Chain A
Amino acid sequence: MNLDTFRAETREWLEANCPQSMRNNPFHFEDAHEVYSTDDAIVWRDRMAAKGWTAPTWPKAYGGGGMDYDTHRVFQEEMAAIKALPGATGMGLAMIGPTLMEYGTEEQRQRHIPKIITGEVTWCQGYSEPGSGSDLASLQTKAVLKDGKFVLNGQKIWTSGAQHADWMFALVRTDPNAAKHDGISFVLLDMHQSGVTIKPIPLISGSSPFCETFFDDAVALEEDLVSELNKGWSVGKRLLQYERSAAPSRAKKKGKPANPYALTAKEYIGEIDGKIADSEAREKIVKQTMLEKSMQLTVKRVFEESKSGKAPGATTSIFKLVGSTISKESSALQSELRGTAGAGWEGDSFTEKELDACRGWLRDRAVTIYGGTNEVQMNIISKRVLGLPDK
């Protein structure tokens, strides 16, 4: 189909099929479950999934949209034009799907990917453990292969959305005697079983998006081992690259809307001769805005380079580090610019936006911790990109 025809048809279809409540409604990923639980969201998801458009670039053979680069760009432009939310979201689409496409067997892809595309099955990630955060490879959750099944015992922590997930992809220790990176396997398991217990963790922001997950003789099937036994570390690392490349969402703002920090500052600080009255606040806003723009242009540059056939270079290694720092500072600034009104916890004395600003500031302390702390990101850049030596 030619692109103009595709554009026209897509525009018409989106206009007719995207419910109003699924437009112009940006949300924080921690609220995804809530946003995608409404009746409208389910209608939207099912309509999009029927066309494969929940996973527009994935192969049609698994139920995806099969779009090539140019078609996908047109699709994204038309989605953006009506500010439509994606048909579905979550770790299935963002992380395990691409990983199975790369490392899974044909049988695994056929069994799991179509259900990710339809939204029938949602996923969570079992990586971190109480003693294994930045030093993830020291993880201790044990898996013993017996009669075609892995029997899991141990504990995962910071499992995002575990309370809503149907399946988990997890790193587990299958060879306790091997060197720490070598005894790890990557398995998939059903969350709806008696051996799995989930406890949400209340955070400083008051929300509980993360859980502890306990395994007491939980079972993962042998056919759900991804890649080879004891070779899970490289799969897990690869998957983290998908997570890290998805992280800097704030930096992707399009168009030229009024500067969001300036709007806040004008309301809460005021202006003199058209300039924000607090010169230090003004400078912080410019610095943050320039950093966001620089990052946005870097994402664009990497995208253009990959389009022109250049292998993705070292540049992507900065995405998580810079992207998460930008997100954290963005939220902090939105709270700080509101003064005491940005420090309200709850109650009618504060507007919803003010409360959000405070909660957001607290919540986004996490972005430089999860998915590999900033310090780990700096270790990665030092060693893998700059080639600085180990001791």
Chain B
Amino acid sequence: MGFFVPSALALGLSLVVLVAIYLRHRSRPLLEVSSLTLFEPTAAPAVRSRVLRLDPLFWFDAACLTALTLLAAGLYVHETRPAPRPQRHALIFDLGASMGATDGRGDRLAEAQQQALALLDHAAPAQEFSIITYALEATRVAARSNRRSDLREAILALRPEAVTPGQTALGAALSDAASADEIDLFTDHRPPPRLLDAGHLHGVVHLHLVGSPGANLAIVALDPGVPRNLEGYCLVRSFADVPRTTELAIDLDRRPVFHSPLMLEPRAQMTVRFGPLPQGGVLHARLLQPDDLAVDNDRYALAPSVAPATALVVSNDRGVRDDLARVLLAINPNFRVTAIDASAAALRQQSRYRFDLAVLHEVDPSAINAAARMLIYPQPRSAAGLEVTGSVPMAELRRGNTSLGNPVLLGPARIVQLPAWMEPLATGAPAGSDTSIPLIATGTPQSGPVGLIAFDLRNHLLLNPDKMAALLATIDAVRQLLQPTDARVVQTGKPVPLALFAPATLIAPDGSRTALRPDSAGIAYFNPLETGRYLAVSGHRMIAIYANYFDATESDLEASSQVLPAHAPTPELAAVRTTIAAVPQDRLLALVVALLLLAESWVIVRTATRGRSLHV
């Protein structure tokens, strides 16, 4: 609206002139008299107002000129209107493991991709789409755009990951798409309603459930046992509602060690025993008969080596030496364990040998030559570089699911400041305190694997049946130290630390390569999202990482393909979906002008009729 256009200026000036004439007219001298009854009544109307005089003709003219001025200036009003049509569209894809289920046709993700592509094809050209995926975390793979070719390419590039999609990731994906007018969620699991009903969502959520019920078998667990000593087992579970047959094959370092057909009852779990294995190595179990979901048909495990290994246990406490030797033999019966006290003579004598593992209780003699060292209840000055900052008289172990209400009391423990290359396996707290302290940790500096058990093992702590958690944690830590440095078995979806100390290349199971750069402690991390063998290559050094995946919720293929009714946004949010538009008032003003002129004409005619005038 502008008053500086010539027509608006002219009309505005004419309005000013009219008002000036009126004011001049009103500027007659005012004479106050005792009563109007002493004066002859005149034709001019009398008004009962001291301030405002109602002169219809003036006001009609003034209103008419005002309307004309506003009309010439282009009066408009801001009007809130409903949004014409959703313009922003978000496509959210579940990339969890079960989206790779084939259901006898294409996989579920392919079905979702086809539906999304159909949406793209039928959408108006102005509509913009963004593409968001979620599995472990939410990722925006395509920013909002209306370039169909890019969007199509991004959709077709999606691949399922061998991980379980988390609700947190779904929530993050929905939050990322919160500003969209319409959200299409492609998944094979019905998401929790609380996520879809979250108040921050701006648009309507269309839920596309893909997939049909499928029959799936999965390898739940694989235990190599102890080569030449204990047989191993493989746990196979059926998620089918009918009996299923399959074949289980187990290879050890790519040499078959077991092959057997299996028949599984509906929804049953079978334990298949094999071995004992003839030697250690990489154990690979697989189901040979294809089923609807492939990622849970393979599983890896590392069988301990059968080569004679030497272990040195150093402690001044006889009971501790005895307990540790028993635990080491339980872990690997092939161990040849030497237990000595921490006297200088004994240490000097053993310093001539190289041990595969040195378990050092309350001592850390630098003279001991070992490939791996396990420090137990270390002294403040440790040869491995651990910094002991204090001790507590009684520590509680909080490992895994050990609840705070049922802690395992361990006894005295050291407070150790872990170096960057060390990862805590179990934490605890001083009794009666909430301060968390690391109790069990392992790491791999350049000198070789180092383990830490911060609590004291005196008084046969490891053999106390009430403190089984301490024994299990200790066994886990020792096993980690004994793992071969060139092979790892990990779970998909969890960060894997690799002690590389130099830049490396990671070769994924599908052949793709990724650069790995270690941090200041020499550790490089990567997150395996596929099952199978990863290979980290750094110079002449190679580390094989075998990634396993199993999750019962993902392996149970029970979802059915359907599009559920859209979740409408809350009324408050729906009300927000409006646009503000400038609406010209030309017609209204023209109508007002016409009405005012008609009214003025009527007043003039009426006045002329009453006064019997031929003209006004």
Partners in one complex: no
Q: Name A residues whose Cβ lies closer than 8 Å to a Cβ of B.
A: none
Interface residues, chain B, with chain A CB atoms under 8 Å away: none
